[in-house]
Chain A
Amino acid sequence: RKEVEQDPGPFNVPEGATVAFNCTYSNSASQSFFWYRQDCRKEPKLLMSVYSSGNEDGRFTAQLNRASQYISLLIRDSKLSDSATYLCVVNRPGGYNKLIFGAGTRLAVHP
């Protein structure tokens, strides 16, 4: 079993739709969680950190459920520019950023 698992998609949604991505992780000792965004052939970039209390950044909401070892990302009012691959990322404990990446979920937003 992979340490971080995601539905690869693709998710094809119209502009303005709400879309949710899910991710599960296997290491219960993991302490930090992130969503990264990666555009085609580009480097991954941090989208947002994920906190137990849930956090929101504009149209993006991230949630963490430690008991279920489950992370989610909700995108409201999708834009064409949201089309990308969204990588679920978990920090394996060790005092530094040993980030374990999921394979990513592809999102395609169409007019």
Chain B
Amino acid sequence: GAGVSQSPRYKVTKRGQDVALRCDPISGHVSLYWYRQALGQGPEFLTYFNYEAQQDKSGLPNDRFSAERPEGSISTLTIQRTEQRDSAMYRCASSLGGGNEKLFFGSGTQLSVL
């Protein structure tokens, strides 16, 4: 595609529900990142994939958060048993290679947990 695509754009859920956020990176981009951004803050690193391999998940806040990228393209970030403190903008980004290259961010998924 022309850019990084994320869906849904907005997600409102009740506390305790599971949510799955989807990211479709730019075609051919090897590296994929998930970030979380609270209002008034910069993006906070969550996890990183190189192809299908999850090479760094040190930023995931706890074991309710998980991510996968089974075929090295589309990725899903799953949050189980959501809590109000999970409410934030979740942003996906991709880049061409595993080195220090330009990141392209998607428009994000705004998650609201009621």
Which residue of chain B is the closest to A87 with respect to CB atoms?
B42
Kindly list chain A residues whose C-beta atoms are within 8 Å of the C-beta of B108.
43
Is B41 among interface residues, defined by CB-CB distance under 8 A?
yes
Say which one of A50-58, A69-77, A97-105 lies at the interface with B: A97-105
Asked if A32 and B103 make an inter-chain contact with CB atoms under 8 angstroms apart, the answer reads no
Q: Mark B51-65, 1 if CB is under 8 A from A, else 0.
A: 000011000000000
Once A97-B101, A103-B42 are accepted as A-B contacts, the answer to whether A42 and B107 lie under 8 Å apart by CB is yes
Is A44 among interface residues, defined by CB-CB distance under 8 A?
yes
A8, A89, A96, A100: the one contacting B55 at CB < 8 Å is A96
CB distance from A39 to the nearest CB of B (A): 12
- Interchain CA distance A46-B101 in the complex, whole Å: 11
Kindly list chain B residues whose C-beta atoms are within 8 Å of the C-beta of A32.
100
Q: Mark A70-111, 1 if CB is under 8 A from B, else 0.
A: 000000000000000001010100111111111110000000
Asked if A97 and B100 make an inter-chain contact with CB atoms under 8 angstroms apart, the answer reads yes
Say which one of B67-75, B78-86, B91-99 lies at the interface with A: B91-99
Is B106 among interface residues, defined by CB-CB distance under 8 A?
yes
B41, B45, B95, B101: the one contacting A103 at CB < 8 Å is B41
Kindly list chain A residues whose C-beta atoms are within 8 Å of the C-beta of B45.
98-100
- Interchain CA distance A89-B50 in the complex, whole Å: 21
Given contact pairs A31-B100, A44-B43, A104-B42, a sample of 17 additional A-B residue pairs in the complex whose CB atoms are under 8 Å apart: A4-B42, A32-B100, A43-B105, A44-B105, A46-B103, A87-B43, A96-B50, A96-B55, A96-B100, A97-B31, A98-B45, A98-B48, A99-B33, A99-B45, A100-B45, A104-B40, A104-B41
- Which residues of A approach B to under 8 Å, CB–CB? 4, 8, 31-32, 42-46, 87, 89, 91, 94-104
Ranked nearest first, the 10 interchain pairs of A and B with the lowest CB-CB distance are: A101-B42, A43-B105, A32-B100, A101-B43, A96-B98, A103-B41, A87-B42, A103-B42, A46-B102, A102-B42
